[in-house]
Amino acid sequence: MFRKILIANRGEIALRIIWACKELGIKTVAVHSTADENSLHVRFANEAVCIGPPHNKDSYLSVQSVIAAAEITDADAIHPGYGFLAESAHFAEVCKECGLTFIGPEPAVIRSMGDKAEARRTMDRAGVPTIPGSDGIVPDVEEALKLAGPIGYPVLLKASAGGGGKGMRIVESDDDMERLFTSAANESMNAFGNSELYMEKYILEPRHVEFQILGDTHGNLVHLFERECSIQRRHQKLIEESPSTALDEDLRARMAATAIKAAKAVDYTNAGTVEFLLDARGEFFFIEMNTRIQVEHPVTEMVTGIDLIKEQIRVAAGEPIGFAQDEVRIAAHAIECRVNAEHSETFAPSPGRITTFHPPGGPGIRVDTAAYAEAVIPPYYDSMIAKVISCGNTRGEAILRMRRALESFVIEGIHTNIALQRRILADEDFVRGRLSTAFMERFLGPGKKVSA
């Protein structure tokens, strides 16, 4: 097992990883920018190294600085968390070259799943259902027009280097193809330095259902069931839950077997997520694979009782997964609400000093956060400041507990989206579990346009 782990992240996930290390008896190294000197991950780690000025590219995204911090503190391994360097195949390679264990999958797997057109091809070859579309990238507008005919409009152009919505365009007819192909390619080039696009049939109002998987280096691969993540705005998830209200036992078993097949196709190790779109007829399709721990992992932890961060560390150290597939059960219902430092109505970011901070607690409530009274939320990073996770024996109980928790979560000094979350938790469609990726657009009403 590792002696010392460097955590290449900040905020709640850095703290979450510190808690796991403490329970495993592993020393921790925090890295931080000058904007994060007073952060809790710095306080609670055994050691801390300042790695640069506030902007991501000068600190948390600097491969050189993070590796140097690991070398001077003599760490054995690096946990990247989510975001930042978590899905950088290059970073994972550099770790390996420097004799540091990257806590995540192999660099080649990160790279191949990061190329979304290649991931789609790989899954198609492996017999995993994909959405009707192009076989790999679409080289130009002419090819796009030729392909769209048999697929049938509307089609969706997606950035191969993307994921999460950037560089996506819905195309309704031949007439719109040239313009939208060009703008998607340009947007992708600007965002990712790569303009390659692929094409899929556009599925109307699907649900986003993802499966948690975990693989070890002994050939064991298990799934930890699903998370429903349909409640999102501009490709930022707002609420996640497990289990999904859309799955019955049969569909759940078929999707789980497909997630395992997808992971086996790339000899997946460590924690990962297989994302599916589920259409109104109950057909499901692979869309992407995320090669990291995700923000919403706590809902899976709450329903299964399995500590995913500890499992990531154990399997990265070469240990076998600590449980068997038939020991994984959905034993509860869990819901996560993301609390962001932003206005509830305008969604404008609201960094600044928190004056009062009183997080909820009590039965069935978990709060993952690095915020505290007098903490300053810097403007440079993600606006998510806390995750409230409720857990109950039924979905109804989890909803009641979440409402109670959000009511008693006091944050003063900055604006948050708690009022918005409370309104969603009171929505009739939400309560009935009638969810789709169109939920927020409908909820916010016309005039508040939500992109593709």
Q: Give me the residues that bind ligand MV4 (CB under 6 A), please.
A: 131, 156, 163-165, 200-203, 206, 208, 232, 235, 277, 287-288, 437, 452
Q: What is residue 342's DSSP assignment?
A: B
- Tokens at residue 82, please? 């989510």
Calculate the CA 399 to chain-centre distance.
22
**Reduced 3-state DSSP string for 135-194:** CCCECCHHHHHHHHHHHCCCEEEEECCCCCCCCCEEECCHHHHHHHHHHHHHHHHHHHCC
Q: Are 131 and 203 in contact (CB under 8 A)?
A: yes
**CA–CA separation, 230 vs 187, rounded Å?**
25
Contact 206, 277 (CB under 8 A): yes
Q: What's the CA dihedral at 186, 188, 194, 199 to 10 degrees?
A: -100
Amino acid in position 9: N
Contacts of 330 (CB under 8 A, 6+ apart): 225, 242, 243, 303, 304
The SS3 of residue 197 is: strand
Question: Could you identify the residue written with the tokens 């009511």?
Answer: 407
d(CA 342, CA 234): 14
What's the CA gap between 351 and 78, in Å, rounded? 29
Q: Are strands 47-52 and 27-33 parallel, antiparallel or unpaired?
A: parallel
Closest CA to 363 of 339, 385, 389, 337: 389
> What is the four-CA torsion angle of 329, 335, 338, 344, rounded to 10 degrees?
170
Which residues, including other chains, have CB under 8 Å from residue 251's CB and lie 6 or more apart? 282, 284
Distance, in Å, from the CA atom of 355 to the CA atom of 378, rounded to the nearest integer, reads: 14
CA–CA distance, 193 with 186 (Å, rounded to integer)? 9
DSSP string, 66-91: HHHHHHHTT-SEEE--SSTTTT-HHH
Smallest CA-to-CA distance from 290 within 197, 208, 216, 218 is with: 208
Active site residues: 292
Which H or E element spans position 107?
helix 107-114
